[in-house]
A = this chain, B = another copy of it.
Amino acid sequence: MSRFLSLAEARSVRPNGWLDTIIKGDCVAALDALPDQSVDVIFADPPYNLQLGGTLHRPDQSLVDAVDDEWDQFASFEAYDAFTRAWLLACRRVLKPNGTIWVIGSYHNIFRVGATLQDLNFWILNDVVWRKTNPMPNFKGRRFQNAHETMIWASRDPKAKGYTFNYDAMKAANDDVQMRSDWLFPICSGGERLKDADGKKIHPTQKPEALLARVIMASTKPGDIVLDPFFGSGTTGAVAKRLGRHFVGIEREQDYIDAALARIDAVEPLGKQTLTVLSGKKAEPRVAFNTLIESGLIAPGTVLTDARRRYSAIVRADGTLASGSDAGSIHRLGAKVQGLDACNGWTFWHYADGKELKPIDALRAVVRSDMAKLD
């Protein structure tokens, strides 16, 4: 059975008695209860300090369930920085000399976290981008869709060269090319998302196990100790156990601890490491028409026609087409000129290649073959 320890217990248990447990309490106090240089890797998912204003509604008027928990509120950047500095310093002491730390965040907090890491003499090895396959849209159309989060991976010390990085495993898992710093994963939803009896999500920001699996497979060895100072629903612990690593979690909220303990108990460790890697080879990557312009395959001002030259349109620099007083995407304008509701602009619009007309889809194929090497 999994268990959790009070701060006093964490301090007094026999050496390593805190392995594979959750320590209940404030993050810094709990870290202070652990011995020097005792963990191999830290994965930290601290509060993001979102600073949300009012409420936000979707276009269908439904309310967005925002992260408004008390633990995500800070009075100022200074307060957030002081908090960050305190827990990172405590982490530093607990890390083995060749240990590394991962911190995940968004643009709200990650820059402050990164600067603090550098100030405390951690040495950044990579920043890794988690690209979400299914991020929440920007409902008001005022910004780019916020489709990623950032992880910083850093060693405890600039001179430490002995940190674990399973380069060959990563490369083998990635079609025999180096694992890049941009990773593609879905957000945590469906059956993986922990819910209470009423179907309400237990934790507002549960991370996907696939993300933690890659982190752990990349930067730890079997039997290593992975500490998570903001344990939440216990994703780090569940994945560590499954992958044959030890975990230590720190968490304040009893509700999260209860959920995490039950979750981890249900995990069956893998006999053999059979980490499945999500190859980003989805059906076909989406290519923006804009990309053809940006990559010089088609110039703004080019005239496109349909296959029989009945309709024509001019390519604008913003990636839209214009025809007479109408304008829009390749699809919208294709539909418009034909008086239809819908149209596949990729196959409808053609460009002149010598005397021949070719569909712009041919140019998309060029872009896709360049992209194919990536995902």
A271 near B: Cβ within 8 Å? yes
**Are A275 and B147 interface neighbours, CB within 8 A?**
no
A172 near B: Cβ within 8 Å? yes
Given contacts A61-B343, A294-B185, contact A128 B144 (CB under 8 A): yes
A83 near B: Cβ within 8 Å? no
- Distance between Cα atoms of A131 and B370 in the complex (Å): 13
**Are A131 and B316 interface neighbours, CB within 8 A?**
no
A355 near B: Cβ within 8 Å? no
Say how far A362's CB is from chain B's closest CB, in angstroms.
14
**Are B111 and A126 interface neighbours, CB within 8 A?**
no
A141 near B: Cβ within 8 Å? yes
**Are B371 and A133 interface neighbours, CB within 8 A?**
yes
**Are B111 and A182 interface neighbours, CB within 8 A?**
no
A6 near B: Cβ within 8 Å? no
- Distance between Cα atoms of A291 and B183 in the complex (Å): 10
Closest residue of chain B to A166 (Cβ to Cβ) is: B318
**A window 14-63: CB within 8 A of B:** 57, 61
A204 near B: Cβ within 8 Å? no
- Distance between Cα atoms of A210 and B176 in the complex (Å): 29
Q: How large is the interface on A (under 10, 10 to 19, 20 to 34, 35 or more residues)?
A: 35 or more
Closest residue of chain B to A347 (Cβ to Cβ) is: B59
A12 near B: Cβ within 8 Å? no
**Are B129 and A182 interface neighbours, CB within 8 A?**
yes
Give the residue of B127, B274, B371 whose beta carbon is less than 8 angstroms from that of A107.
B127
Given contacts A119-B77, A318-B217, contact A110 B111 (CB under 8 A): yes
Say how far A93's CB is from chain B's closest CB, in angstroms.
21
Contacts of A79 in B (CB 8 A): none
Of A223-231, A248-256, A259-267, A325-333, which binds chain B?
A325-333
- Distance between Cα atoms of A354 and B182 in the complex (Å): 35
A320 near B: Cβ within 8 Å? yes
Contacts of A173 in B (CB 8 A): 288-290, 293, 318-320, 329
- Distance between Cα atoms of A61 and B331 in the complex (Å): 13
**Are A278 and B128 interface neighbours, CB within 8 A?**
no
Closest residue of chain B to A174 (Cβ to Cβ) is: B288
Closest residue of chain B to A190 (Cβ to Cβ) is: B296
A189 near B: Cβ within 8 Å? no
Contacts of A304 in B (CB 8 A): none
A150 near B: Cβ within 8 Å? yes
Q: Could you jot down 12 A-B contacts, CB within 8 Å?
A: A114-B114, A133-B373, A145-B179, A145-B180, A173-B288, A173-B329, A175-B289, A185-B295, A186-B295, A217-B317, A274-B301, A278-B328
Interface residues of A (CB under 8 A from B): 57, 61, 77, 106-108, 110-115, 117-119, 124-129, 131, 133, 135, 137-138, 141-148, 150, 152-153, 161, 165-182, 184-186, 210, 213-214, 217-218, 243, 270-271, 273-278, 280, 282, 286-291, 293-296, 300-301, 314-320, 322, 325, 327-329, 331-332, 338, 340, 342-343, 370-374
